[in-house]
Structure formats: C-alpha cells, structure tokens
Structure 1
Amino acid sequence: MKNLLFTCLALAFFTGFTGNAQSSPKEKINSMLEAWHDAAARADYDDYFELMADESIFIGTDPTENWEKDAFAEWSKPYFDKGKAWSFSTLERNIFLKEDCEIAWFDELLETQMGICRGSGVVTKEDGEWKVKHYVLSIEIPNENVDEV
C-alpha cells in the first residue's frame, strides 16, 4: 500500500513539472495545424479562419482554386454553415524552421474524403501566434496511375 501511495505521489510530482514545460516551436506549429484541420472537421468557421494569417493564400486541388483568404472564406462559408466542411486526418507531417523561428514551412500527408492528399505550406508568427500564410492541397496519385486521371 505504501508503494502504491509513493508511486502515485511521485507521478503527480513529476507530471506537474513536465506539464509546465515550454513547447518547442515545432510542437506549437504542429498543434496549430491540428487545430486548424479540427476546426474544419467541426465546421467552426471562426476558429478555422482565425488560424490563417490576414494576408494568406489557400490553393486547393482544382486548377481554379487559388484564393486569397477573404475569397476562400466567402467560397467556403456555405459549407461551414451547413455544418460540414472537410475532414483531414494527419498521417505524417514534417516541419522546418527558419533560424529566427518566425517563419516555418511544412509538408503533410493527410487522409481525406478524397483519399490520400498532401498539404504543404508556410506558417508565420504574428503577434506571438503561428498562422497559416500559404497552403497548397494536392491529391496524391501514384505515378503508375497518372494516365487514368
């Protein structure tokens, strides 16, 4: 019984210290990107667009989909209003930081309603918060299947 009590107290003690540890810039960027994708899955328009920089670009899978933030927000609002935007689950993500930790770029592999897609983009730190500045979404097609598309 004493061992169990000691173990519980030790876990509580050490968890308290690790819980207060500072997140690295890559961890913060990863969390922000997960929150961004989650906001779309929840159809939370405000949360989704709050995580994009004021002057940002979203390039979708269709050749016509090259939007500045305001145009993208206008185009996508009906989907959010219906309670169904899009749902992307991260399979893999690589994040790269500029030395000053004010700009980062990333690529990610996503499970989507369209199948496997790749996202890539640039994030910038604005007023201490990471925001999506430029995002490109592409549908992944195996080279041997490209003629079928």
Structure 2
Amino acid sequence: MVPAPDAVAIQRGQAEVAEVNAVLDAMHAAASRADGATYFPQFSPSARFIGTDAGEHWSLEAFRAYAEPYFARGQGWTYRPHDRTIMSVGGVFFFDEKLSNDGYGELRGSGVLARDSAGQLKIEQYVLSFTVPNDKADAVVAAIKATD
C-alpha cells in the first residue's frame, strides 16, 4: 500500500527534523568533548558563528582559529540543548533551542541549516545568546554600559 501524499510529506518532514536534530546534537556533543574533528564539519565552509559578545561575529575560519587551541588542550564547552523548535522554508531549516550550561545557566541558541552540494545538512549560522529576564534588563543594560 502506498501512503497518502500527506502521509509521505509528514514522514519526509519527520525525517528532516530528525536529521536537523542529529546535526545539532553532534555539534553540541563534539564541543563538549573538545572534538574539533567532529565539531567543525557540522558547519558549512561559509558558516558564521555569532557569540554572546558583540564582537563575536566570526567566519568559520576565524572561529576555528579561536576554538582549536582550546580543543587541543582538551577544553571544550558544554551546552545541553532542550526545547528545540525547527521550522523549514524551501528546504532551509531555522531553529531555536534553549541551552543549559553549568556556568552561565540558561542560554539560547538559534540558527540556520541548509544542504550542501552533496545533500548533507550543514549549519550555516549559529547564534549563541544570553537570556535576560525582562525584570532584570535594566540592571543588565546598566552593567554593560558601565564597561563601555
């Protein structure tokens, strides 16, 4: 029996969501193990990494230059993802995820994945952000302004 077209679309969508989850989970796991050989191939060669500091807007090459010395010393970073949302438009995948970190607490990751010429999903952009409760925003902004 051939599944109805809607069922096929749902199955394809579920498979793509699983594939996006696998790429992101592999990236986070590799970072935690300081495994650059697995971490960096999750990104496209033209990827951007946008970190929590306003100056952290890196090409993959620049981010690799920053991160590899840490990885070489066995020092990675552990962000545990949860509550991930994935959307797809025209074969491009957008996501946001909540992250837990022992030092920083709760953060947010977001970004974009797309297929490369070989059909593999790669991270095109990853944005790491601190979350700020609205009732704490004034104090956080004041602390940032005090260092400018």
Determine the structure 1 residue equivalent to 2:33. Answer: 42
Amino acid at match of 1:29: V
SS in 1 for 2:76: coil
Q: Find out whether 1:120 has 2:110 as its counterpart.
A: yes
- The CA deviation string for residues 52-105 of structure 1, in whole angstroms up to 9 with x for no partner, is 000000000001100000000001111111111210101210001124x3x111
Q: Find out whether 1:104 has 2:93 as its counterpart.
A: yes
SS in 2 for 1:85: coil
SS in 1 for 2:78: coil
Which has the greater radius of gyration? 1
SS in 1 for 2:97: strand
Q: Find out whether 1:143 has 2:134 as its counterpart.
A: yes
The alignment's TM-score, normalised by the length of structure 1, stands at 0.81
Distance in 2 between residues matched to 1:108 and 1:29, nearest whole Å: 12
In the TM superposition, residue 116 of structure 1 has moved relative to its aligned partner by 0.6
Structure 1 gap ranges (5+): 1-20
- The CA deviation string for residues 106-126 of structure 1, in whole angstroms up to 9 with x for no partner, is 000000231111111000111
> % of aligned pairs identical?
37
Distance in 2 between residues matched to 1:141 and 1:89, nearest whole Å: 18
RMSD over equivalenced CA pairs, Å? 1.5
Amino acid at match of 1:115: G
Amino acid at match of 2:93: A
The alignment's TM-score, normalised by the length of structure 2, stands at 0.81
Structure 2 gap ranges (5+): 1-10, 141-148
In the TM superposition, residue 148 of structure 1 has moved relative to its aligned partner by 2.1
Alignment length, in residue pairs?
127
In the TM superposition, residue 36 of structure 1 has moved relative to its aligned partner by 0.5
Determine the structure 2 residue equivalent to 1:15. Answer: none
Determine the structure 1 residue equivalent to 2:21. Answer: 30
SS in 1 for 2:30: helix
Distance in 2 between residues matched to 1:60 and 1:105, nearest whole Å: 17
Q: 4+ residue stretches of structure 1 with deviation over 4 A?
A: none
Determine the structure 2 residue equivalent to 1:72. Answer: 63
Structure 1 residue aligned with 2:80, among 85, 89, 92?
A: 89
